[in-house]
Structure 1
Amino acid sequence: MDVSLLHDIAPFSTEQRAMRILLVDDDEPMVELSATFLERELADAETATYTDPEPALDELTDGGYDCVVSDYDMPGMDGLELLTAAREQGIEIPFVLFTGKGSEEIASRAISAGVDEYLQKGGPEEYPVLANKVSNLVEKYWAETHMRRGFLAIESAEEGIGIIDGDGVYQYMNKAYAALYDRDRTELIGEHWDILYPDDEARRFHEEILPQLEAEGSWRGFSTGVTKDGEAVPERLVLTQMDDGGHVCIVQELTEVDALQAEVELKDRVLDAIGVGIVVTDPSQDDNPIVYCNEAFEALTGYDAESVTGRNCRFLQGPEKDPETVAEIRAALDAGESISTEIRNYDVDGEPFWNRLDIHPVRDDDGALECFVGFQRVGDRDGDADDADSP
């Protein structure tokens, strides 16, 4: 996986803490001097010093350290033997061999043993170099540790999480992502995302979803994928754009409530497409205000959802109200009944139009009135819907 694709994702940890350094050297004045210099050069450093490698190894196994700085030539256990023993116990923190007994042979052995840095002791001028190497190693170790923890969380997440590059090809996905479509991720990484969608849904992604993602930086909503065997997978999808043109996908299979909402949104898109304006009003609130309108209503009247929410629909009647029709509508609403009629309305520019209006009450399982739904189309004075705006 190309780790550069993750640069736009929030870091897995913003932890700020002191770096803890364990120094091991059988020369006590030398190890204390090294600790003093490192704490002076590194503002956030905390050091612990040992002159005997054996207790130093015991201390390391308790964890909590970010780096080891060890001499090479020590009685009982040299620096490379300490490194080997630490690695055998699963201690993977950076290890710096800081030795006064340098030679090509020791340097070669140190590299073969896997030390992270090899540095010969010298005068005080060597300590800024040592401090810089320790700082770089610890920062790299922290970053890799946070990355590993983050990917462990991603791998164990119940949600499907995937990364798609700028060409639409999967570069990474966790097991949950592939399992949602009854596939193994080895089948999908390297494939284009449209392998998981039927043709009509892939078309909606290209024409509607991806342009919105590019324009706004994110998209969330409902979609329908498909398993290898052709079974439909209703899903909730969240997409987040990355600077390189790719995007992060988070996908969940829909619950029953989600599926109902997705069905409503689908029907809403259909009604938008055929030009039927919809408003929902709440009779439990004062003056039965609008609580929802669809895009077709906005197109019909010129008013956006924000400007009409909380207002009674009568604002559309303008200055020349039709008292008889208004009274007829009000009587039906007061009785909680349906009504179909035609009324002169005015759009946002004050232009009149005949509105073919159908209002229906919506009740709960106990018969209590929950809301009214109004369907609106351009009509004519004879009460017939305009053919150009009819389904």
Structure 2
Amino acid sequence: MDVSPLHGIAPFSTGQRAMRILLVDDDEAMVDLSATFLEREPDDAETETYTDPESALDELTDGEYDCVVSDYDMPGMDGLELLTAARERSIEIPFVLFTGKGSEEIASRAISAGVDEYLQKGGPEEYPVLANKVSNLVEKYWAETHMRRGFLAIESAEEGIGIIDDDGVYQYLNEAYAALYNRDRSELIGEHWDILYPADEARRFHDEILPQLESEGSWRGLSTGITKDGEAVPERLVLTQMDDGGHVCIVQELTEVDALRAEAELKGRVLDAVEVAIVVIDPSRPDNPIVYLNAAFETLTGYDAESVTGRSYRFLCGPETDPETVAEVRRAGDAGESISTEIRNYDAHGDPFVSRLDIRPVRDDNGALDCSIRFHRPADDAGSS
């Protein structure tokens, strides 16, 4: 799913918190007995007991509880009326009706009112059952609360967050994700992700990015999407594979600086895709060092970028390199002129190779020499740069 934390949302954890249960019964001896059993059976349970439903309702409103266990038949307010009043105050914790008055009518009313569990009082054998039901309800409530908070975090995040299934179809995305592409999310749910990318970028996803995601489990990098109106959206992506074969996508629009970097990376990918060996020389620095080389140059010479960047181009010369050709190349480079010639150089293993060398100057808007680009082709390739 390197991504900054979602803004302003603290993770939800119940690992170090006791289960808090509110018990309501007008019979003081019965409510105390229930509290004793419930504190004994579940791990780390805490109870509060009330004999007055009105006072219990005020406590529920102000306190933090995980479950209510209430009698049904109580003066002033019965258990189902307490449930209705709690829900009207947006108290959504589990509610167990634990009553000595059992009847089909009460059970039916309890189900209609939305109680989470209905249990008749009996002997001591009923309390382990009650404790088990309360524990299961609280664990379910905690899990659902955790899930709700997670989705709240996703919905409120500044980053665009989407879930894509194994077929490449959007199953979920937040508003920030859709807004990045000037769309409503209802337009994207059920659509394939390639609706947001130009054809050449979609091909790159299929050919490069998704295979890497499948093999490594994640991918992060820069891409370019499109809005509904066809405008380019430079973006930073983090993709994380899910167990079912789909993936989570987190997307951020790039800043202007990031966009320039993305453009440079795109040009670098284009140059690496070219089969002609390319080197860029900086004539403004001492000894005219190499400042860029593409993948084809590495293949041709056996030298990688780390070993030659910043070095003079002359390291390719060897015992059979023609001095007059070297001097001609140097003069053209110093003068900022174009030249095309054949030259013998030596690779990283000391083996000679002959190539057609084309030098082309690149000037800035004022006509000053900015850099010099050198193209190496096989000597029998008659094409020009």
Q: TM-score, normalised by structure 2?
A: 0.78
Q: Does 1:16 align with 2:15?
A: yes
* Partner secondary structure for residue 167 of structure 2: coil
Report what 2:6 is aligned to: none
1:219 maps to amino acid? W
1:204 maps to amino acid? R
Measure the CA separation in 2 of the matches of 1:316 and 1:243.
Answer: 50
8 Å CA contact retained: 1:274, 1:389: no
1:272 maps to amino acid? D
Q: 1:265 to 1:311 in 2, by over 3 A?
A: closer
Q: 1:258 to 1:71 in 2, by over 3 A?
A: same
Q: Does 1:199 align with 2:199?
A: yes
Q: Deviations over 1:28-86 (max 9, x none)?
A: 22222222222221112121111211111111101311111111122221111111110
8 Å CA contact retained: 1:17, 1:44: no
Equivalence map 1:276-315=2 (5 Å): 295-302=295-302, 308=307
8 Å CA contact retained: 1:318, 1:346: no
Q: Deviations over 1:78-120 (max 9, x none)?
A: 1111111101111000111112221111111110110011112
* Partner secondary structure for residue 135 of structure 1: helix
Report what 1:387 is aligned to: 381
8 Å CA contact retained: 2:12, 2:149: no
Q: Deviations over 1:199-227 (max 9, x none)?
A: 22222222222122212222222222222
Measure the CA separation in 1 of the matches of 2:118 and 2:57.
Answer: 20
What runs of 5+ residues in structure 2 fail to find an aligned partner?
1-9, 283-287
8 Å CA contact retained: 1:290, 1:313: yes
Q: Does 1:238 align with 2:238?
A: yes
8 Å CA contact retained: 2:302, 2:347: no
Report what 1:56 is aligned to: 56
Report what 2:124 is aligned to: 124
Measure the CA separation in 2 of the matches of 1:100 and 1:389.
Answer: 97
Report what 2:103 is aligned to: 103
8 Å CA contact retained: 2:276, 2:297: yes
Q: 1:112 to 1:354 in 2, by over 3 A?
A: same
Q: 1:229 to 1:359 in 2, by over 3 A?
A: closer
Report what 2:158 is aligned to: 158
Measure the CA separation in 1 of the matches of 2:360 and 2:12.
Answer: 54
Q: 1:199 to 1:379 in 2, by over 3 A?
A: closer
2:253 maps to amino acid? E
* Partner secondary structure for residue 238 of structure 2: strand
Q: Kindly state the Cα deviation for residue 344 of structure 1 after the two structures are TM-superposed.
A: 3.1
Equivalence map 1:1-391=2 (5 Å): 13-18=12-17, 19-275=19-275, 295-302=295-302, 308=307, 344-347=345-348, 351-353=351-353, 377=376, 387=381
Q: 1:98 to 1:318 in 2, by over 3 A?
A: farther
Worse-superposed segment, 146-155 or 64-73? 146-155
* Partner secondary structure for residue 230 of structure 1: coil
* Partner secondary structure for residue 387 of structure 1: coil
8 Å CA contact retained: 2:24, 2:51: yes
Measure the CA separation in 2 of the matches of 1:14 and 1:291.
Answer: 51
Q: Kindly state the Cα deviation for residue 14 of structure 1 after the two structures are TM-superposed.
A: 4.0
2:222 maps to amino acid? F
Measure the CA separation in 2 of the matches of 1:353 and 1:21.
Answer: 83
Measure the CA separation in 2 of the matches of 1:26 and 1:151.
Answer: 40
Q: Deviations over 1:136-163 (max 9, x none)?
A: 2112111221222222222222222111
Measure the CA separation in 2 of the matches of 1:125 and 1:390.
Answer: 94
Q: How many equivalent residue pairs?
A: 367
Q: Kindly state the Cα deviation for residue 362 of structure 1 after the two structures are TM-superposed.
A: 12
Q: Kindly state the Cα deviation for residue 389 of structure 1 after the two structures are TM-superposed.
A: 10
Q: 1:229 to 1:36 in 2, by over 3 A?
A: same
1:346 maps to amino acid? D
Measure the CA separation in 2 of the matches of 1:173 and 1:57.
Answer: 39
Q: 1:48 to 1:289 in 2, by over 3 A?
A: farther
Q: 1:73 to 1:378 in 2, by over 3 A?
A: same
2:200 maps to amino acid? D
* Partner secondary structure for residue 261 of structure 1: helix
Measure the CA separation in 2 of the matches of 1:292 and 1:312.
Answer: 11
Q: 1:121 to 1:320 in 2, by over 3 A?
A: farther
* Partner secondary structure for residue 26 of structure 2: coil
Q: 1:230 to 1:47 in 2, by over 3 A?
A: same
8 Å CA contact retained: 1:26, 1:50: yes
RMSD between superposed Cα atoms in Å? 4.2
What runs of 5+ residues in structure 1 fail to find an aligned partner?
1-10, 283-287, 381-385
